[in-house]
Amino acid sequence: MSNDAPTPGQPPEDDDPFLKKPQDPPPSSGSPYDGAPPPPPPPPPPYDPGPYGGGPYGGADPLAGMPPLGAPGVRILARLIDFLIISIPLYLISLPFGGAVDVTSDNGDSDVGNAVTNTYSGHQLIWSLIALVCYVGYDTYFTHKDGRTLGKRLLKLRVAMLSDGSVPPTNASLMRAVVLWLPALLCCPCLWWLINIVLMFTDKPYRQGLQDKAAKTVVVSAG
């Protein structure tokens, strides 16, 4: 080994970073985690259920961070507006073809009561199917577009997916519209509307009508 002194201005050999050997790892401290992955992080703080309570199964509330639920009375009024938007033009269009509703009895006298209790004639059934297509198409289109039919837009309501508050996709929008209008137009209108109105006031915690339960949606305020 050379005993020559280092050149002035040149760092000693031991201080040259390119010549240093890697240091040995520090001695083991005897910790139980030596050589094992670190322990998992502590659990998050307890979930705040918010104003609507916990989820339906005790989990997180899907409405946390979303707008408040739509008031039942406002929802009923919005639905009435949507009904009139479709039914009035549809009825006027049907007049040249004999009207959408047959209100004459067998002897030719006008008798609304008898017409309601009688079974559908072929004429009524055709117009009921036409109405079903119009109502379902209307609800599906506007619900998929931005969650708001014209009635809901006027009264600052919106349909949202219960899981994350997003605008319902096409399949959920169609499901919601079919469940809402098919029984209402072809089967049991009075009973169907009564059930849905009662659910708007009594369903806990999300005030879902039958159409909301089928599509997994909820109606919230958009104001």
Lowest mean pLDDT among 42-46, 126-130, 172-176, 194-198: 42-46
Could you read off the pLDDT of 163-190 as tens digits, one per residue? 989 999 999 999 999 999 998 888 888 8
How confident is the model at residue 71, as a pLDDT?
94
158 or 94, greater pLDDT: 158
Q: Are 160 and 166 in contact (CB under 8 A)?
A: yes
111 or 208, greater pLDDT: 208
Residue 122's pLDDT band, with cuts at 50, 70 and 90, is: confident
Place of tokens 């240093």: 20
Q: Is the dihedral of CA 106, 129, 138, 97 positive or negative?
A: negative
How confident is the model at residue 124, as a pLDDT?
78
The amino acid present at 39, given as its one-letter code, is: P
How confident is the model at residue 19, as a pLDDT?
45
Could you read off the pLDDT of 57-74 as tens digits, one per residue? 344 566 677 789 999 999
The amino acid present at 2, given as its one-letter code, is: S
Could you read off the pLDDT of 205-215 as tens digits, one per residue? 999 999 999 99
Over 116-137, what HEC string results? HHCCCCHHHHHHHHHHHHHHHH
- Residues 72-97 have a mean pLDDT of 92
